Structure 1
Amino acid sequence: MAIIVNLDVMMAKRKMSLTELAEKVDLTLANLSILKTGKAKAIRFSTLDALCQALQCTPGDILDYEAETDAASEQLGERSLN
Structure 2
Amino acid sequence: MALGSDPETPRQATREEMSAAKLPMAYRDSCAHLLIPLNRCRMDTYFLPWKCEDERHGYEKCQYVEFKKRVAKMNELRAAKDGERSN
Q: Normalising to structure 1: TM-score of the pair?
A: 0.31
Structure holding more strand per residue = 1
**Which gives a bigger RCO, structure 1 or 2 (Cα 8 Å, sep 6+)?**
1
